[in-house]
Amino acid sequence: MWEEAFLKRWRKVALTTVVFVLTTVVILGRFPVVFLKSNTASLPMAELRHRMLQRTRLVNTTCHEYKSELLHHYAQWLGVSEYWQKVDPLLFVNPDVLVNRRQRLVWCKAFLQVPKVASTSFVHALLRLSGVGHLLDARVHRSHLHMVLRRMMPPPRADEDVRGFAAFMVVRHPFQRVLSAYRDKFLDRSEGKKFRKFKELYGLSIIAKHRKSEPPPEEEYYRDVPTFWEFVQYLISTPVWEYNEHWRPYYLTCSPCHHHYNFILHLETLQDDAEYLVNATGLPELAPSHVHATRGKAVPEILLLLPGQNGHDSNDKNQLNGAMIQRQDLKNGMRLAAKDLLFDVPPPKRHQEEEEEEAGDSHVNTEAKFFAKIKRHQLMELYNIFLLDFKMFGYDLSPYDAYVSD
């Protein structure tokens, strides 16, 4: 009798074990969490994993809640009629979503406007993973490295399913991003060609439309560039789907309602978030490091160093399907001209954000100085423009509502 009871209990335990193992295999089959290296983050890996799950759930909830608004914005941006069957295929082949097929890795290459040390670090890491790490030893301009990365990690094809890949993106507070884009594109004169480009494309027209009076003598610097107040006015008066990619919201650029991101890294918690990314993927190359891109050599020299060029063999044809790929804009099909990638100027000064970080300058004081120039009603209008980013990524008005004037 006892033997029969024992056997029944043993079968029950064995069955439970098998079910648990199979369930675990199915779950991890979507994305294996390997935790290969020791944890040096300030939080336990389990807590960081919970943080990532909360962030992905928040994105999914926002996508569902604002489905109608998203369809309208996507359709306007893409220039198609407002039907999901028209919009969906174009968002799944988003050119800002880069794919490393060998490592089964996806990265949203949005123009993140994160401090250059952070964005450059990820570019370097992905170049190493793509097998062209030798380019980092050459004096190659940062923009050329980005072009090479697009070639090595072409976007998803229309018939390609990358849902099982590890996907990550990096975000920051929408207002912080807006200010960073403004400072980088309109106040940083160190890269002369880039400065002139944005001045001619946007700056002069912003001044012509929104300048009410000439700047005082102590602000002579703004004679030919828009002030932050004028830039904010431009954003408020311009449809969001017409924004330049450097200040375009994440929900448009990265299409997180269509591409599932396992890892949503916040700039404010980047060290811990990146540590979790490294542990979960088993790719130590993804750990942020302080690197500075060199500015110098031209595109033809880069192409000689690429796999499949000048005697180098390619180990993965899929990685090279985008050979000589030029970024296609989703809205109008325009190609990014080669001249837009060439900054053949003398090595510029260090980026302003890098200098401030290393000098210990107060980032908060800098933000307060700029946002003190705008009114509360402007801040609220700007908030409504970036509302979906605020909702998706869990940001609020603080501390910027304390900086503005009434």
Q: DSSP class of residue 329?
A: P
- pLDDT at residue 145, as a whole number: 82
Domain assignment present for residue 67? The answer is yes
Q: Is residue 68 part of a domain?
A: yes
Cis omega (within 30 of 0) for bond into 89:
no
Which is it for the CA torsion 38, 114, 54, 27, positive or negative? Answer: negative
C-alpha 97/C-alpha 101 separation (Å) is 12
Looking at residue 136, what is its pLDDT? 79
Whether the Cβ atoms of residue 388 and residue 249 lie closer than 8 Å to each other:
yes
Structure letter (DSSP) for residue 224: S
| Radius of gyration of the chain from its Cα atoms, rounded to whole angstroms | 24
Cβ neighbors of 230 (< 8 A, separation 6 or more) are 206, 207, 210, 211
Residue given tokens 């804009």 in the structure block: 329
On whether residue 122 sits in a domain, the answer given is: yes
Q: In this structure, what are the phi and psi dihedrals at residue 335, rounded to the nearest 5 degrees?
A: -95, 145
Domain count along the chain = 1
Please compute, for residue 114, the number of CA atoms within 13 A of its CA located in the half-sphere on the CB side.
Answer: 22
Tell me if 212 is assigned to some domain: yes
161-206 confidence digits (pLDDT tens): 998 999 999 999 999 999 999 999 999 888 888 899 999 999 999 9
Low-confidence residues in the chain, pLDDT < 70: 1-39, 111-119, 138-139, 289-364
Measured from the Cβ of residue 304, the count of other Cβ atoms closer than 10 Å reads 12
Rounded distance, CA 98 to CA 141, Å?
A: 20
Is residue 10 a part of any domain in this protein? Answer: no
Q: What domain range is 303 assigned to? A: 37-402
Q: For residue 20, tell me if it sits in a domain.
A: no
Q: Which residues contact 131 (CB under 8 A, 6 or more apart)?
A: 152, 307, 315, 316, 319
**pLDDT in the model for residue 381:** 98
Q: Classify residue 21: in a domain, yes or no.
A: no
Distance, in Å, from the CA atom of 393 to the CA atom of 264, rounded to the nearest integer, reads: 8
pTM score:
0.75
For residue 18, tell me if it sits in a domain.
no
For residue 231, what are the contacts with CB-CB under 8 A and spacing of at least 6? 182, 186, 206
Q: Which residue has the tokens 């044809």?
A: 317
Determine the pLDDT at residue 363.
63
